[in-house]
Chain A
Amino acid sequence: MTGAGMLFWVQLRRDLGQILLWSLGIAVLYWSQAVSVESLYGTPQEFEEAAASMEGNAAFVAMTGPARALDTVGGQVTWQSAALGSVLVALMVMVLTGRNTRGAEESGRDELVRASPVGRYSVVTASVLEAMTASVVVGTAVAASLIAYPLAVADSLALGLGLALVGWCFTAVTLVAAQLTAGVRATYGLVGALLAAAYLLRAVGDTTGSWVSWASPIGWYQAMHAFSGVRWWPLVAPAAATAGGLVGAYVLLRHRDHGAGLLADRPGPSRAGRCLSGGGGLAWRLHRGSVAGWAGSLFAAGLAYGSIGDDVEDLLGDSEMGRTLLAGEGVDLVAAFQATSLLMLALIASGFTVSAALRMKSEEIGHRVDPLVAASLSRGRWWAGHALVNLAGSAVVLGAAGIGFGLGYGTTTGHWGRLAVLVPAQLAYLAPAMVLAAWSWVLYGLGTRWAVLAWTGPAVAVGVGYFGDLLDLPTWLQALSPYEHLAQVPSESFAWLPLLGTSVLALLLAVGGLWAFNARDLD
């Protein structure tokens, strides 16, 4: 462990700005719920009515968490923020831990550090401590902002502490993943899949009221019941999981060589196959693993959401008032739930689309474009190869989600015909996905350093999709998300015009992006 302390401070100083930004963002997420809930409902009666309608809406429950004490500000904050806050804190520790361990090892930076008098476990220990500290900083910021609001102190502390422990859990998860995989990209892929699984398990558990939520760190956090009779004992679960994961990761670390994953690289073909030809062939080769991973995950997610079936009706029970408030008299609640679910799956799939669009940037800054261009592949063709594979890959990922959803619904209810509605409805989201891709290409066309801003696309889309209805966001703000313009099939009937408009927007942005890329220097 020699040198771990010093490494910890060096890394912390480098990442401090990023950690504070995450903390601020997540604290604002929690705090703004409290503010908006109070400004949204004028009278206690309005508040109660709205709470009753939310409680009965399975789509909302699947998105956020178990509906508890929704007629209180604290209850609303917990309900609306806990799941998304968990995802964000998990992404933060994933990036921090992944980059400082496997990322440094892959790039060769780690070798220089390890050649100096530091212990075998020092880098890993410093990185883990940093991520755990960052989680505590985030938790503290959340708790402090809620106490300052002011909400009940004990419950606010519970929300902060629980969130920090979710961060600890995913720190351990990332560290294990970093030992198993040989590249930081694969590490992120594995952690992302596990995070999606955690989110999904609690969604299924919460909508069906089953034990499944207890298989998820996010479920443990929500089981603390902040602002609805807070209890502390569920914290044992994330604490134990963190300890177990860390021990496992250190054992794995001791058994592997520096630079290697647990699975050794096997020799491959000494000649290229027929498909590995031209810009498109190479792009497909580079993206296919990620397409398969995302398609598999979203198929599973669709299956899980679809298998909720018609239970949505049961959730409402006798709450006639809730039914009326939610959708008006005589509206198909199952259709409303399905439309929201398809949108959510599409929003998750946008993660694939944007990360695939950013692949061009990492290829360029890795200087892997130069040999291709020097071998007479034009820039435009190289770009087009990646863009087409992105389009096709996004279609595959969305298709997998839609098919999964339809199959899940069909097996539960026997209504197989619904597949013919659900799959095209899911595929229609290819148009807004391509708007986000094209937005990424525009930024990338301006220069590699702007490309990271591409994540503003999914951030706006998820923000609007998630909070748009809950918080009654202004129309112009909702209109910023390309996902908001399509007809919400199957609860609304399909419309061509918005789909065409969105597609044309994507095309125009894409052309602009290509033009800008062709006009600039390559890094």
Chain B
Amino acid sequence: MEKRFDSAALFLPIMGVSLVLLIWTGLSLKVAPDLPTPLRTWYESQNYILNPFFKDGEMNQGILRFSFLSLIRVAKGFLLAIAIGTPLGFLLGVSTNFNRAFDPVIQVLRPISPLAWLPLGLVIFKQSEPAALFTIAICAMWPTVINTAMGVRSISTEYLNVGRVLKLSPMKKLRKIMIPATLPYMFTGYRLSLGMAWLVIVAAEMLTGSPGLGGFLWQEYNSLVYSHILLSVLTIGLIGFGLDRLMSVVERRFKTA
């Protein structure tokens, strides 16, 4: 790795961001007068950023409070997704028959949008919070399912032969060979699932009106405070980026071979 300071690495991203801010300003001045300029967005949002923990009612809180509420919701949905998705993926990878039986179902369920699942969740659970978790979990689980199944299928015969020669019990084989061999694939799945869960949170909160970044965004749209939409959008993007970085650090730790 190059240790020397690389000025282009700093300069080019700054230039990219400036260019986007310029286009944004141009758009709000010339094309879409309702779109606040970057400067106006900052003025109208600074209270939320500078006092990130204030609370003035359910739907009027500092940006970090909203972020926290959304993150908790995503964490629950994500944990539910991997708790169901990992064993499901394992079964699909281990058993050809199981795979034949359920692969078509999965292929059909996978492309369904969160916007379609949410009303169904509301019908099933009658309450917005479980419906939101249901939606996050069912949308976020597929990358985990598919990557885990692929990981199990690509366990090297060499490793399995070691297990056969040693006559390991099924539990031992699972714990000592199959799970460790699949772990890198599982974590790739987890990273993608977390990204998906974060995508879904906004839709889930918008439709259920729960306090959080998505709920705030939708409320401010209805109250015509457009700068706060931009504040929410940018926060969502930054947090999503942070989560992905975090997960790829974890993922890299599990690359064994």
* Chains A and B belong together in one complex: no
